[in-house]
Chains A and B, each alone.
Chain A
């Protein structure tokens, strides 16, 4: 194995002795002018509206809730209209701050599945969760960041404590706040790198732009393939 490595590196170095005919300057691209490449999507005005427009263009559903009561009212309606009894709530700080899990337990005792009860370092518990999660119809989670230009939600495996929770259920409702919105991906990534450097948080970050989709059969657009069919942003004011 290590001989393969040595051989591959040997070949690369030997090949690179010959420069390419077009001369270039060899400076690593400076991150500073990254923002220029996104200038047309850099404005910070009306970010909520912009996000909403783009998010709806990719078939996302957007609701604005300016107080806790309206959040719970919306969730009640969602649960009722989708006749859902299997619900998962993530460990994201916003879910904890709003005590979503507790509200759910009070409202629908015994019917919800709560990630909170699972002990993460117990493999049997994880296996149970995995099987249970496959049956969940609605998940309520929190976003890390939002990107206005493309209507994208960024979720983190770390703070949700789960990758599946934003993937297996057929309805995914995401709680977010306006201060999490960045105009474009370049701004956001510069911010993330400033904060975390070489060690990105958790095992995975996922950018989600609309429900899962395919156009593999005669370019017919079908929504909801392996991931959620409905994606909802609940903007908490």
Chain B
């Protein structure tokens, strides 16, 4: 598989026919949903919290320049360095520059979707640096040269046996499929990397505008190590990750862990405001914050799509999505998968590249229903479909059929003519009462059988008999 959303349809059908993968995704997503539900039911304020989170994100995104300036001011006042990057290349170049200056060789990275998005590890490798993914899931997919199949559980698609084989091959350890032993092998290797790495790179879950603090949420402790042990810490964030205040954080933290992993709180939430302060015995000597645009200001331009920037990457919409559950994360051909991936990927890479993703939805609305920040995901998918059509990215046959359909639907005479003709064709073809076959359309959808008589005819008959009954 290649990392491209162009092949969504073929990837999806391949994955749907892979029973092992289907089972893995069904188990993992249901497991997460059950744990989530249990914890959410314990919080009577859940809906109010979602409303508030949405409201806070609205406030930020509608005044993004104001809050980003605040963030910059406070980070700088705390002694950190802020770097603005228009795109992934600018961000990566800056990081390479810092690495060169401090003569870094080993770079430890904690899990970050943003650095996945810009392919940072590849750039670091090209520059003779050794990037080490330190989250267990990320470590596994780095060894396998793959990309994440889930926003919060990147190696979700891998079975323990596959991980065992991978470790045996790449790390030269004896084969085992015991998760504890695999974890221990990774832990040992990574501990040595943490101790020698000169540069640590992390993502950012939230950046607090009024204190200049970056917040990193995790379970393993690898993000804490990545931001503590090396001499320099660079945090990379998409510019939408800013929130107004330290006081807003509890709202998001009460929602996030429950929504994503079904925990009340993750094992670690780090609030990092600065590099090592006088009197402290450890911690990095330098703190840099890279604030990345990479297409986000384009999303901002379309008022209907702005909500896509509210996402806190909890992964709940992936878990609940009937499509994601069946096709798996890799089918999307993007580091962002699932419903929100189907929104963000076309917006970041262009609808022409990812034109099939908005159709990878049953429009059931389960994603919008579960989203802790109440993003109207499924309506955005509809709007994106509109753009796909408006941009003439659908096949000409479909466009023609839709034109005819539109004409028929807006003129009753034409409608009668068309449906009459269709009914005649069906009868001549001897296909009454059977679902219709339309090449290219009914491969993946049903075209229900045509009723033998139209509603209008039935209605007329009914009127007659009713009239007969009323006036005997």
Residue B210 lies at the interface, judged by CB distance under 8 Å to chain A: yes
Q: Apart from A161-B279, A164-B228, A206-B270, list 14 A-B contacts with CB within 8 A.
A: A24-B59, A29-B52, A29-B244, A29-B248, A151-B265, A157-B283, A158-B279, A185-B254, A200-B213, A204-B274, A204-B283, A207-B269, A209-B266, A218-B28
Instruction: Report whether A4 and B221 are in contact in the complex, using a CB–CB cutoff of 8 Å.
Output: no
Of the listed stretches A64-72, A101-109, A222-230, chain B binds A222-230
Instruction: Report whether B220 and A225 are in contact in the complex, using a CB–CB cutoff of 8 Å.
Output: yes
Contact partner of A225 (CB less than 8 A), chosen from B187, B250, B263, B275, is B187
Residue B160 lies at the interface, judged by CB distance under 8 Å to chain A: yes
Instruction: Report whether A198 and B211 are in contact in the complex, using a CB–CB cutoff of 8 Å.
Output: yes
Listed by A's residue number, 30 A-B pairs whose Cβ atoms lie within 8 Å are A4-B84, A4-B85, A8-B84, A15-B301, A26-B62, A29-B248, A31-B245, A36-B48, A40-B43, A157-B277, A158-B279, A161-B281, A163-B283, A164-B229, A167-B224, A185-B249, A185-B250, A189-B246, A189-B247, A200-B213, A202-B274, A206-B269, A209-B267, A209-B269, A216-B136, A218-B28, A222-B179, A226-B134, A226-B225, A227-B224
Instruction: Report whether A209 and B264 are in contact in the complex, using a CB–CB cutoff of 8 Å.
Output: yes
Q: Tell me the complex Cα distance, A37–B44, Å.
A: 9
Instruction: Report whether A203 and B303 are in contact in the complex, using a CB–CB cutoff of 8 Å.
Output: no
Instruction: Report whether B179 and A220 are in contact in the complex, using a CB–CB cutoff of 8 Å.
Output: yes
CB-based nearest A residue for B64: A12
Q: Tell me the complex Cα distance, A40–B27, Å.
A: 32
Instruction: Report whether A167 and B221 are in contact in the complex, using a CB–CB cutoff of 8 Å.
Output: yes
Residues 375 to 402 of chain B near chain A (Cβ within 8 Å): none
Of the listed stretches A44-52, A77-85, A92-100, A114-122, chain B binds A114-122
Given contacts A4-B86, A150-B264, contact A202 B64 (CB under 8 A): no
Q: Which residues of B contact A13 (CB under 8 A)?
A: 65
Q: Which residues of B contact A149 (CB under 8 A)?
A: 264
Q: In the complex, how many angstroms separate the beta carbon of B288 from the nearest chain A beta carbon?
A: 12
Q: Which residues of A contact B48 (CB under 8 A)?
A: 36-37
Q: In the complex, how many angstroms separate the beta carbon of B265 from the nearest chain A beta carbon?
A: 4
Instruction: Report whether B221 and A225 are in contact in the complex, using a CB–CB cutoff of 8 Å.
Output: yes
Instruction: Report whether A37 and B49 are in contact in the complex, using a CB–CB cutoff of 8 Å.
Output: yes
Q: In the complex, how many angstroms separate the beta carbon of A175 from the nearest chain B beta carbon?
A: 19
Of the listed stretches B151-159, B344-352, B432-440, B461-469, chain A binds B151-159
Residue A75 lies at the interface, judged by CB distance under 8 Å to chain B: no
Instruction: Report whether B183 and A5 are in contact in the complex, using a CB–CB cutoff of 8 Å.
Output: no
Q: Tell me the complex Cα distance, A78–B140, Å.
A: 35
Instruction: Report whether B281 and A118 are in contact in the complex, using a CB–CB cutoff of 8 Å.
Output: yes
Residue B105 lies at the interface, judged by CB distance under 8 Å to chain A: no
Given contacts A26-B59, A198-B74, A206-B271, contact A31 B247 (CB under 8 A): yes
Residues 21 to 44 of chain A near chain B (Cβ within 8 Å): 21, 24, 26-29, 31, 34, 36-40
Instruction: Report whether A163 and B250 are in contact in the complex, using a CB–CB cutoff of 8 Å.
Output: no
Q: In the complex, how many angstroms separate the beta carbon of A206 from the nearest chain B beta carbon?
A: 5
Top 10 closest pairs, chain A to chain B, by CB: A227-B221, A226-B221, A11-B297, A216-B137, A212-B221, A15-B300, A185-B250, A207-B269, A150-B264, A5-B84
Digit string of B107-151 for contact with A (CB within 8 Å is 1, else 0)? 000000000000000000000000000111100100000000000
Residue A210 lies at the interface, judged by CB distance under 8 Å to chain B: yes
Residues 145 to 165 of chain A near chain B (Cβ within 8 Å): 147, 149-152, 157-158, 161-164
Residues 256 to 308 of chain B near chain A (Cβ within 8 Å): 261, 263-283, 291, 293, 297, 300-301, 303-304, 306-307
Q: In the complex, how many angstroms separate the beta carbon of A60 from the nearest chain B beta carbon?
A: 10
Residue B317 lies at the interface, judged by CB distance under 8 Å to chain A: no
Contact partner of A129 (CB less than 8 A), chosen from B65, B155, B269, B281, is B281
Residue B58 lies at the interface, judged by CB distance under 8 Å to chain A: yes
Instruction: Report whether A217 and B282 are in contact in the complex, using a CB–CB cutoff of 8 Å.
Output: no
Instruction: Report whether A219 and B28 are in contact in the complex, using a CB–CB cutoff of 8 Å.
Output: yes
Q: In the complex, how many angstroms separate the beta carbon of A161 from the nearest chain B beta carbon?
A: 5
Instruction: Report whether A203 and B267 are in contact in the complex, using a CB–CB cutoff of 8 Å.
Output: no
Instruction: Report whether A16 and B220 are in contact in the complex, using a CB–CB cutoff of 8 Å.
Output: no
Instruction: Report whether A162 and B221 are in contact in the complex, using a CB–CB cutoff of 8 Å.
Output: no
Q: In the complex, how many angstroms separate the beta carbon of A14 from the nearest chain B beta carbon?
A: 8
Residue A124 lies at the interface, judged by CB distance under 8 Å to chain B: no
Given contacts A189-B249, A227-B220, contact A12 B136 (CB under 8 A): no
Instruction: Report whether B182 and A217 are in contact in the complex, using a CB–CB cutoff of 8 Å.
Output: yes
Residue B13 lies at the interface, judged by CB distance under 8 Å to chain A: no
